[in-house]
Amino acid sequence: MKIYGVAILAGCFLAGQFIGEGLAQWIGLDGNIGGVGFSMLLLILLGDWMKQKGMMPAETEKGVQFWSAMYIPVVVAMSSIQNVRAALTGGWVALLAGVFGTAACMLLVPVVSAIGKGRRKVAEPIKSN
């Protein structure tokens, strides 16, 4: 059922928000640090784990895929209301987070590529008689 996709998304969103709020409090800031990003990461990891364990029927997978695709516009809309000028003039935290995040992603490209090659199955050539 597609409704299970919504339930999985909602659970990941709430967990991500909880992580983002907790991280902000731990650092001593008032707000949420990366709650939506953590939600997306949890959704990807949970969906992949459920698929590997055979716990995700085709209809549920379609629901998760649909809401995963809808998640990107939500993130763009949420980020459009951020006050980037205040973040940059208020400190270097935003700039450093962007630089470190980009560097981490660039360093992880070979790792993700290696994981993808390990999962790829190569079809055997067809033998003719």
Q: Could you list the pLDDT tens digit for every one of the 129 residues in the chain?
A: 566 777 888 888 889 889 988 988 888 888 788 887 888 888 888 888 888 888 878 777 777 777 777 766 776 676 666 666 666 666 677 678 778 888 998 999 888 888 877 665 555 556 665
Model pLDDT, residue 119: 63
Q: What is the pLDDT of residue 20?
A: 87
The long-range contacts involving 68-72, CB below 8 angstroms and separated by at least 24 positions, are: 68/9, 68/43, 68/44, 71/9, 71/39, 71/40, 71/43
Nearest partner of 67 among 16, 2, 15, judged by Cα: 2
Tell me, what's the pLDDT at 76?
Answer: 66
Q: Tell me, what's the pLDDT at 50?
A: 85
pLDDT at 107: 93
